[in-house]
Every structure is written in C-alpha cells, then in structure tokens.
Chain A
Amino acid sequence: MTALTATLPRPAARSRTAPRAAANILTIAGRELRDAVRSRWFVLYTLAFAVLGLAVSFVSAAGTGGTGLSGFGRTTAGLINLVLLVVPLMALTAGAGSIASDRERGMLSYMFAQPVSRYEVLLGKYFGLAGALLSCLTLGLGACAVILAWKGLRTDPASILWLAGLSFLLALGMLSLGMLISSLARRSSVAVGTAIFVWIALVFVTDLALMAGAVALRMRIEDLFALSLVNPLQVFKMWSLHAVDASLDVLGPAGLYATEEYGRTLHTVFAACLLGWVVLPLVGAAAALSRRSPL
C-alpha cells in the first residue's frame, strides 16, 4: 500500500461561492451524455433504429421504383410507425434507469451531499440523456435520409426535418415520464419494468381501448379526438401526418373532425399536448426528488 507521506491541505480561508446552477447542470449533463454514449443501450438502440429505418427506406424505395414523391409518403409512414415503437421504448427505459440506479448504488445521496441542488441533478441528467437520444435519432434518421437521397428519391427535406423534430419532442416527453418513474422507484429493475409496462400501455393498450370504447360507448367524435390527445404517441402520429401531409383524412372521421374544427391551430394543439408531456412529468419528478429521501 502506498505510504501516506504527502502534505495535507489546510482549510482555505477564502470566501466560498457555490457554483451557479447552469454550471452544475452542464457538468452533470456532460457526464451523463458521455456515459450514455459509451453504454451498450445507446449503441444497441442506435443500431436498431438505423437498421430498421434503413430497411423501411429500402422497402419503400423498392416499391416505388425509386421515383416520385409517393415513395417518401410510404417511407414517412413507415418511419412514423418505427418511431412510434422504438423511440418511446428507448426514452422511457433510459429515463427509468437513470435516477433509480444511482439511488441503488448510493451515488444519488453522494451527489446530493455535494454543493448541488436536487433540481440541478435532475436537469443535468435530463439534458444529458436528451443529448444522447438526439444523437441516436440524428444518426438513425440521418442514415435514412442519406439512403433516400442515394436512391434518387425526390424528398422534401422539410418533411424529414419535421419527422426528426417531432421524434425528438416525443423522445423528450417519454424521457420525462421515464424520469418520473425513476424518481419514484427504489430499485432500477422496478423502474425499468414499470417503464416497459407503460410503453406497452401507450403503444398497444390505449389504442385498443380507444377503439373498443368508441364502439361500445358510441363516443362522439370530438370526445374520441380529445381522448386521443391524452396519449402522446397518438399526438405524435397525428402531428407527424398533419405536418408532412397537411391532412388527417387518413385517420378517418376523427382526423376529418380535427382538421375542420381546429384548422391552422392544430399545430398549436399538438404542440401544447406534447410539451405538456415534456414538462409535467419532469415537474413531478422534481417534486418526488425533493420530497423523497435519496436513499
């Protein structure tokens, strides 16, 4: 063992100022981003997203013979469905694993014992993971865009940017939800399990429940539309179609109702819904972290 012969520091007499919140958030976000990028989940999700995205692009391009705007329409539809499946799972599990695993290993209480506030830790982790998700989506969708261009499809860059932007917004919402789950759970296995359950509920169960409810309860069309706004995945789907295609006819009566009733304000309605999913769970996570013991 190394001999302890060095001179020990004496406590400094200088005045001390706690670092600014922004500096702490940036420090924690930087570390979280580096950790995420190094981790297996990031590599796996990026690969899966890119490979599936490329597969969708290839199949769509092959189906249209490599020409025409309809090719992008199909590709977009395929990519929207891909995003609906993969992005929420990715963001929910990343968020769910973040705080609970730190709590489990004792790192959360150690961090809170430093001159940082709990909000700084939460936001730092959030922004770090958001950065990782953004990188993942950029790589995945970027690869698809390159393939489309390579195949000579006349694509509208605005459509790809819309899809990328909305995917990121959806990822942010799901990340917030994952972090809320994580700040409430004591064990990371419970948090990740709950996140997967929530993912299944959002992707499959609510869709089916909405359809069943519409038939069984003979719901009015406006109620059906209002209920579909509760599910962030539905909002993403409707907003993506609206942004790329400018029409929600493909969604049937609810889509027609939405277009006629809200018209140009639909973007605002969808934005408010998705932003609500970003902000509200994060506020919940902050409240849970501030009230609950980090142990």
Chain B
Amino acid sequence: MIDISHVTKCFGRAAAVDDATLTLEPGDSLALWGANGAGKTTLIRCVLGLLRFRGRVSVGGHDVRRHGKAARLLIGYVPQELGFYDDFGVDEAVAFFARLKGLGRVRTGEALDHVGLLGHERKRIRELSGGMKQRLALAIALLGDPPVLVLDEVTASLDAVGREEFVRLLDRLRGSGRTMLFASHRIEEVAALARNVAVLERGRVTSIAPCQRFVARAGNGAVLHLHLPVGVRVDAMRSLQAGGFSPQLNGVGVLVPVAPEQKAGPFRVLADARIPIDDFELVSNSHAANLAAAHSEVKP
C-alpha cells in the first residue's frame, strides 16, 4: 500500500532522511521510531509529497510526485499539532475538507461522532482544547474512509488522559483494516498500535523489527543519566568504556545505556575509579530504545 524506495531528503548538506526504504502492505501498521531530529517527520512529509526528495514514494500505486492528488486521496493525515483557522467553526472545517476530498455534503455529526466530538459542531476551533483539536484532525482524516492513515506524533501535545484516549481510538482504527504509518517516541503508543517498528537514526533506517521484539528490548532497557562534575567527565567516559558500557557525553554528565540487571554497574565502575557523582536519574525509554535498536540484528 505504501512503498518508500531509497528516499533521501537533504536540507543544505545535512541529510534529514538518508536512503530510506520501507514497504507497508495493506492493513500493516508501521511505527517510525527515533529521537527528535532522527528524520521521522521529514519522512512522513515525503510520503505526503510536501517536500522534494530523491527516491520514490508511492501510495496505492500512485507516485506521490507525479500523481500527488490521487495518492493523497488515499491518505488521512493527522499532524502533530493542527494550525486550523481559529475562527473556523468545527462543522465548517469538516464540510470544507470534505469538499476538498470530493465528498460533497457530508453528515458532519456522523464524522464527529466517530471521534467523540458530537455536540461540539457549533463551536469555534479556538474554543477547543488541544485534545479536541487532534480529534477534529482525526475526524477530518477519516472523511471518505481513506485506506491509509499517516500520523505524525499525534499525541505529543496531549496530556496523559487525552493521550490514552487518543491511542485507544487509534487502536480501534487499526482494527478496521487501515494501513497505518505513524511517528512516535512513546513506547506505549508503539506497543498499542504498531505491528512493526522502523528505527531511524540521523535519517537512516537502522532496523526494522516486529513490534513485540522491539518493545521487549526497548521496554526493559534504560538509560542512566549520571550528573558529574565538569573536570571528571572525560575520565568517567574512559572508565565506563573500559567497564564494558557505551556512555555518551551529555550537557551535565554522561548517558549510559544499561541492561535491566546492570543498573548498578556504572556506579561500581565510577566508585572504583574514585570519580564523584553529583546526581543520577533513569531517563525515558525513548533514549533507551534508540540505543538498544542501534544494536538490533534485523536490517531492512
């Protein structure tokens, strides 16, 4: 349904997406996983034909560059945050985009009901919360029942409750047979929605793994963030490397990916080297997943 072939997108000399190749069969659900700046959003924009790129992207057999309208007719797209016109009415927005999708008059209430926005159709968009705006974007994306959904970090601007509800809604959409391509750096979202996970690092697809395997690895791993005095950071790096860890320098110390049973390891190594530690924290799984995925054995 979606065929991404050797796509490269450069901004100046820097490659935001570097020779990415991915294929999604009908009904597939692929998560694009990576840290900020890894190239997830850029790749999605290439799929939508928003950016000029090298390589080829086709959706439902339509080349997005040559037959962009036909390709986008198959896609329902939800961006990270929607910049609708504030004085647009909710029903006006739905009717407007329905006409752009060639649907003529639609039952606005029905479209809004699918996403739990029934009763809000008379409101102005500026009166909606962030979560409601995202649901409206989803309602618009679902107009005309497109077979493909493309979602770009759609829960990034939502609070925990809104996020959970939105993911539940998307989960049910996945069950309705749509092909889903989405970017995320939340492990719970990926676990709930993806069948496969493509990991991006500095624009390259470094691995593609079945979701369960990815989540098992990423979910169990952790990154230890050690806050260290400025003068000892280089020594700490050397000691940790000698101790079998792969530390990375960070603004206030070092980041050390650790296996679940090894969380105390870096403390022991630094204590043996008499290197003081100011503070520490276990940081989000997203960092852990990026680093763990870099060592994945499955290559595209």
Contact = CB atoms under 8 A, between A and B. Distances in A.
Given A18-B102, A19-B102, A109 B82 contact: no
A110 B83 contact: yes
B115 A114 contact: no
B116 A2 contact: yes
A16 B145 CA distance: 10
Indicate the member of B49, B50, B79, B173 with the most A CB atoms within 10 Å: B50
B185 interface: no
B265 interface: no
B175 to A, nearest CB: 8
A116 B85 contact: no
Contacts of B69: 18, 115-117
Contacts of A112: 48-50
Contacts of B73: 16-18, 115
B40 to A, nearest CB: 15
B160 to A, nearest CB: 12
Interface of B is mostly: loop
Interface residues of B, number: 50
A113 B85 contact: no
A9 interface: yes
Interface stretch (A23-31, A132-140, A243-251): A23-31
B274 interface: no
Interface string B72-105: 1111010101111101000000001101111000
Given A1-B165, A18-B69, A106-B82, A27 B114 contact: no
A11 interface: yes
Given A1-B161, A1-B165, A2-B116, A115 B84 contact: no
Interface of A is mostly: loop
How many interface residues does chain A have, given as a range? Answer: 35 or more
A113 B102 contact: no
A110 B168 contact: no
B96 A8 contact: no
A250 to B, nearest CB: 47
Contact of A11 (B51, B82, B147): B147
A148 B119 CA distance: 52
Contacts of A158: none
A295 B144 CA distance: 26
A20 to B, nearest CB: 8
Contact of A110 (B82, B144, B161): B82
A38 interface: yes
B41 to A, nearest CB: 10
B142 interface: yes
Nearest to B148: A11
Nearest to B93: A31
Given A2-B116, A4-B168, A19-B99, A105 B83 contact: yes
A9 B87 contact: no
B273 interface: no
B178 interface: yes
A107 B102 contact: no
Contacts of B144: 12, 16
Contacts of A113: 48, 50, 72, 75, 77, 79
B177 A1 contact: no
Given A107-B84, A116-B100, A8 B176 contact: yes
B100 A9 contact: no
Contacts of A38: 87
Contacts of A128: none
Contacts of B147: 11-12
18 contacts: A1-B162, A2-B116, A2-B117, A2-B119, A4-B115, A8-B172, A10-B145, A11-B146, A16-B73, A19-B99, A23-B102, A27-B96, A27-B99, A35-B85, A107-B85, A113-B48, A115-B69, A115-B102
Interface of A: 1-12, 16-19, 23-24, 27-28, 31, 35, 38, 105-107, 109-117, 291, 293-295
